[in-house]
Amino acid sequence: MKLPYVISTVLLLSILFTSISLKAQQNEDLLNLLIKKNVLSQQEADSIRADQAIKAQAKKDKENQHGITIGSRALQISGLAQVRYQGFEQSGVNNAFDLHRIRLDVRGDVTDSWSYDIYTEYGGTGVKLVDAWASYKVGSYLKFTAGQFKVPFSLESLISDQQLEFIDRSQVVEALVGRSKDVIGNQNARDIGIQISGSFAKLDDFNLFDYSFGVFNGAGYDVTTDNNNHKDLGGRFTVHPIKNLSVSADFYNGVGNYGTPAKNQTRNRGGFDARYVVGGLSLQAEYDKGTDGTIKRDGWFGQAAYFVVPKKLQLAAKYDTYDPNKAVTTDRTKIYTAGANYYFNDWTRITVDYLDRREETATQLKNNILEVQLQVTF
């Protein structure tokens, strides 16, 4: 290596380090001067210093986050892999490994106002487009979103797959929010449409209210055309009475093309939910009801999860009940789930759930399930 290059590099680093040190010293000198002139009290100055230290640490933590970021905010790439094993007690059903979810997310902020997201799923029948939207943010109180995205209904549905405390969502959510048991088929709770959303009435470091309202095709996701001329409406309103507590009500009014033979029929939903997190404890409950044609359905669940070892071992329990037809008195199903999550780090965890299933029938089925899932994110 040539000596002039070494000298130039050392000189450049010295100037950079000196400028950073001088800036920090100037801030400190300014605070001391304001104290001396009685503009600030010692307590106020200490508060400013503490705030600066917190912001500096937050910036450092953000810069050190695991993940791939290309082009700063403009292009951010992340992914999710969930490999699952299911052991079935029911005879005739084979135990098996499967790729529960394999997904790649590409998103970014083009400007302070414009952002986008393209979320794809792999495996199974091939590549499928999950999310594809663009949004324009006027402020925290108003954002416009257009494209394909989650319908604003059901807290458990809106929680991302990698953040769920359990491997599976509840029966009522799978049946009424465009998932595996909905009359319109599994749409991953997504649809194509437009939406306005936002938060307002800020109190300290959180907003008192959140809202979302959208107009959708009602035909599901990754489709090229609508299957009926009706447009569906969905909305959600959330109140945060205190920090880390959310209480919400939501609705969905629409028409779906389903049945045998398929025809346009009513597909309406309504519900409310709540979630509270304090320390290592999280509590959540949700009730949803729906009308499909002439059939009325409803269900609810309640769950609790607690980190017995902070950031490492979480134990969870859930009660989940669903009635697929309220006119029938012997078709309700109850599921008691006991689960455990072990976090190897912030990006890798293993989940073990045991589902004790009970039906309102004269003869109980032996259909309990043991599930184990390894999750890796980046």
Q: Do 295 and 149 sit in the same domain of this protein? A: yes
Is residue 236 situated within a structural domain?
yes
My answer on whether 34 and 110 are in the same domain is no
Domain count, the chain: 2
| Least confident range of 19-33, 131-145, 159-173, 353-367 | 19-33
23 and 111 in a common domain: no
Whether 238 and 119 share a structural domain:
yes
**Do both 218 and 119 map to the same domain?**
yes
Q: The whole model's pTM is what?
A: 0.80
Tell me which residue of 136, 127, 75 sits closest to 106, measured CA to CA: 75
168 and 301 part of one domain: yes
Residues 146, 196, 143, 72, CA torsion sign: negative
| Tens-digit pLDDT profile for residues 258-300 | 999 999 999 999 999 999 999 999 999 999 999 999 999 999 9
Q: What is the pLDDT of residues 338-369, one digit of tens each?
A: 999 999 999 999 999 999 999 988 777 889 99
What stretch of H or E contains 287?
strand 281-292
174-178, long-range: CB within 8 Å, 24+ apart, which pairs? 175/290, 175/297, 175/299, 175/322, 175/324, 176/269, 176/271, 176/288, 176/289, 176/290, 176/297, 176/299, 177/151, 177/153, 177/269, 177/288, 178/151, 178/220
Whether 355 is covered by a domain: the verdict is yes
Q: Are residues 204 and 310 in the same domain?
A: yes
Regarding whether 83 and 36 lie in a shared domain, the answer is no
Q: Is residue 372 part of a domain?
A: yes
Same domain, 350 and 283: yes
Domain co-membership, 83 together with 20: no
**Does residue 196 carry a pLDDT above 60?**
yes
Record the tokens describing residue 193, joined without a space. Answer: 């449409």
114-121 and 313-323 strand pairing: unpaired
Statement to judge: residues 254 and 372 lie in one domain: yes
Question: What range defines the domain where residue 42 resides?
Answer: 3-58
- DSSP H helices, the chain, are 3-36, 42-63, 155-158, 171-176
Q: Are residues 313 and 215 in the same domain?
A: yes
